[in-house]
Amino acid sequence: MTEKTILRALAGETLDTPPIWMMRQAGRYLPEYRATREKAGDFLSLCYNSELAAEVTLQPLRRYDFDAAILFADILLIPQALGADLWFVTGEGPRLSTITTQAGLDALKPVEDIHETLNPIYETVRILSRELPRETTLIGFAGAPWTVATYMIAGQGTKDQGPAHALKAENRPVFDALMQRITAATIEYLSAQIEAGAEVVKIFDSWAGSLSGADFDTYAMQPTKEIITALKARYPGIPVIAFPREGGDKYIGFAKATGADCVAVDDSVSAEWVAAHVQPDGCVQGNLKSSHMVTGGHALVDETQRIVRALKNGPHIFNLGHGITPDADPDNVTRMIEAVRSA
């Protein structure tokens, strides 16, 4: 039996104490991250500097006793590798050249050419696989096709993903072809991460909650299934975590429908509901509100331990319901970890 607790949970084992990691654990809430980013020059330069990207991935492990490290990268590197222009506006987030027509789609690079751009990311994984402590699991990741498509179509993040929904309604052939291109690229990207040493991969569908009914099945569930099926055909033992954020009732059955080994859940559903409806199918991950990492106090400890107790009868990886925010207090991460391990 592996000594890596996250791999044990992903294999379906119920542990006395759930393993812990944290979305965006390498990020702006840590002063050492901000210093390294400044050294890199800008966010994208940090992503593509293998040594510095490995450094910021390792930084939270020096502070905290996490059970996993997650590769430092960004979900929008695939659009850039496919030929989209990508840049970041300080204080506002990513901007991309838009793909809304057949001509724009035709101008994208072939999927097999993405590695030329993404090779530094694979080198980061190789560095981490050498330098991580033996007991620490290395997680790779990518954005899910729907979420990535929303950025490629709108050219930026949007509150309601309206431009993507509009293209889906008005030009379904172009929309479907873009989704297929992203899906194929994601399979190749995650495969290369696994080849470089990632032990688990996670698929982030941050905007899955804006899909409803049959669209959720077609554009959140089906691409995730396609990616997982391809990865498991190539790497039969690789565990996959899926995160269809704000999926609500669609969390139910998501693991069985896609082949995911674990379903990560956001904080819009209670841990008790997850225990009753999602955990019977296998491992779940989540789901403390990120705001507790800002406010701390007894509420942080109480809610952390309530989640642990609610999910103690099945396989569980403790995490936040979304990424830690830049205004979080680093000391609250320590309090959270202590609360999980003393629950």
- In this structure, which amino acid lies at residue 105? L
The catalytically annotated residue of 34, 37, 126, 306 is 37
Rounded to an integer, the average pLDDT of 124-144 is 97
Determine whether 181 is an active site residue: no
The catalytically annotated residue of 28, 34, 126, 341 is 28
2 has a pLDDT exceeding 80: no
CATH 3.20.20.210 boundaries in the chain: 71-264
284 has a pLDDT exceeding 90: yes
Q: What is the pLDDT of residue 316?
A: 98
Q: What is the pLDDT of residue 269?
A: 98
The mean-pLDDT minimum among 63-67, 80-84, 91-95, 186-190 falls in 91-95
Determine whether 33 is an active site residue: no
1 has a pLDDT exceeding 90: no
Name the token pair of 270: 């209670």
The catalytically annotated residue of 33, 67, 74, 266 is 74
Cβ–Cβ < 8 Å for 259, 282 = no
Name the token pair of 338: 């202590």
Cβ–Cβ < 8 Å for 263, 10 = no
Q: What is the pLDDT of residue 3?
A: 86
Residue 245: C-alpha distances to residues 13, 202, 321 (Å): 24, 12, 9
Determine whether 172 is an active site residue: no
Which tens digit of pLDDT belongs to each residue from 322-342? 999 999 999 999 999 999 999
Burial classification of residue 34, based on how many CB atoms lie within 10 Å of its CB (0-12 exposed, 13-18 middle, 19 or more buried): middle
Class for domain 71-264, per CATH? alpha beta
Whether omega for the bond prior to residue 287 falls within 30 degrees of 0, making it cis, is: yes
Percent pLDDT > 70 in the chain is 99
Q: Which residues pair with 262 in a beta bridge?
A: 241, 283
6 has a pLDDT exceeding 60: yes
Rounded to an integer, the average pLDDT of 181-193 is 98
pLDDT tier for residue 91 given thresholds of 50, 70 and 90:
confident
DSSP for 157-226? --SS-HHHHHHHHH-HHHHHHHHHHHHHHHHHHHHHHHHHT-SEEEEEETTGGG--HHHHIIIIIHHHHH
The catalytically annotated residue of 8, 24, 181, 245 is 24
Rounded to an integer, the average pLDDT of 291-313 is 98
Cβ–Cβ < 8 Å for 86, 95 = yes
Determine whether 28 is an active site residue: yes
Q: Is 162 left (phi over 0), alpha (psi -120 to 50) or beta?
A: alpha
> In terms of DSSP bridges, do strands 137-143 and 93-96 run parallel, antiparallel, or are they unpaired?
unpaired
218 has a pLDDT exceeding 80: yes
pLDDT tier for residue 239 given thresholds of 50, 70 and 90:
very high
Query: Which residue has 């400890």 as its token pair?
Result: 301
Determine whether 189 is an active site residue: no
Helix (H) or strand (E) holding 303: helix 297-310
pLDDT tier for residue 311 given thresholds of 50, 70 and 90:
very high
113 has a pLDDT exceeding 60: yes
The catalytically annotated residue of 33, 48, 151, 189 is 151
pTM of the model: 0.98
CA-atom Rg of the chain in angstroms = 19
Which tens digit of pLDDT belongs to each residue from 240-277? 999 999 999 999 999 999 999 999 999 999 999 999 99
